[in-house]
Amino acid sequence: MSYDYRKIYGIVMTNLPKRTKSQKIGVSAADLLSSVLAKFCNVIPVPQDRDLGIDFICEIMEGEHPTGKLFNIQCKGKEESKVESNSITFPVKVTTLNYWLLQSNPTFLVIVDCQNSVFYWSFPQDFLSLLGKSWQNQQTVSISVPIKNRFEQNIITLPSQLVSIVNSQASATPKNGDYLGTLTLANAVNRATDYGLYVLSAPFHRPFQYIGMPIADAARAVSSTPNEVGNIIVDSEEAHMLLEAEGNFINYVDVELKRTAPWSQNRPFDSEAILGVLSINPSELELARKQTHFHTYYDHKRRLKIGVSCHYEGAPLSVGFSSKYYRA
Q: Is residue 9 domain-resident?
A: no
Burial 257-286 (b: 16+ CB within 10 A, else e): beebeebeeeeebbbbbbbbbbbbbbbbbe
Q: Helix, strand or coil for residue 126?
A: helix
The answer, yes or no, to whether residue 80 has pLDDT greater than 70, is no
Same domain membership, residue 36 and residue 70: yes
Measured distance CA(23)–CA(20) in Å, rounded: 5
Of 118, 134, 168, which residue is a domain's last?
168
pLDDT category, 58, cuts 50, 70, 90?
confident
Q: Helix, strand or coil for residue 84?
A: coil
Same domain membership, residue 123 and residue 266: no
pLDDT category, 181, cuts 50, 70, 90?
very low
Length of the chain as a residue count: 328
Same domain membership, residue 262 and residue 159: no
The answer, yes or no, to whether residue 104 has pLDDT greater than 80, is no
Give the domain extent around 42: 14-168
Question: Residue 140: what residue type?
Answer: T
Q: Is residue 327 domain-resident?
A: no
Most confident of 24-28, 47-51, 302-306: 302-306
> Residue range 190-218: average pLDDT?
87
CATH number for the domain harbouring residue 30? 3.40.1350
Of 138, 168, 198, which residue is a domain's last?
168
Measured distance CA(284)–CA(69) in Å, rounded: 14
pLDDT category, 30, cuts 50, 70, 90?
confident
Q: Are 280 and 206 in contact (CB under 8 A)?
A: yes
Those residues with Cβ within 8 angstroms of residue 302's Cβ, 6 or more apart along the chain or in another chain: 208, 211, 323
Q: Is residue 80 domain-resident?
A: yes
Q: Is residue 132 domain-resident?
A: yes
> Residue range 169-181: average pLDDT?
42
Same domain membership, residue 231 and residue 133: no
Beta bridge partners of 136: none
**294-299 and 87-93 as β-strands: parallel, antiparallel, unpaired?**
unpaired
Same domain membership, residue 19 and residue 157: yes
Q: Are 280 and 308 in contact (CB under 8 A)?
A: no
Give the DSSP letter of residue 117.
T
The answer, yes or no, to whether residue 322 has pLDDT greater than 70, is yes
Q: Is residue 4 domain-resident?
A: no
pLDDT tens by residue, 119-164: 999 999 888 877 777 888 889 999 989 889 999 989 999 998 898 8
Q: Is residue 303 domain-resident?
A: yes
Q: Helix, strand or coil for residue 199?
A: coil
> Residue range 250-270: average pLDDT?
95
Q: Helix, strand or coil for residue 82?
A: strand
Q: Is residue 205 domain-resident?
A: yes
Same domain membership, residue 300 and residue 262: yes
Q: Is residue 233 domain-resident?
A: yes
Of 137, 168, 199, which residue is a domain's last?
168
> What's the total number of domains in the chain?
2
Same domain membership, residue 313 and residue 248: yes
Same domain membership, residue 137 and residue 206: no
Average pLDDT, the chain: 83
Same domain membership, residue 134 and residue 104: yes
Greater confidence (283 vs 296) lies with 296
Same domain membership, residue 305 and residue 228: yes
Measured distance CA(279)–CA(269) in Å, rounded: 18
Same domain membership, residue 72 and residue 44: yes
Dihedral sign computed on CA atoms, order 200, 202, 204, 206: positive
> Residue range 293-307: average pLDDT?
92
Same domain membership, residue 153 and residue 40: yes
The residue among 214, 210, 31 whose CA lies nearest residue 112 is: 31
Q: Are 258 and 240 in contact (CB under 8 A)?
A: yes
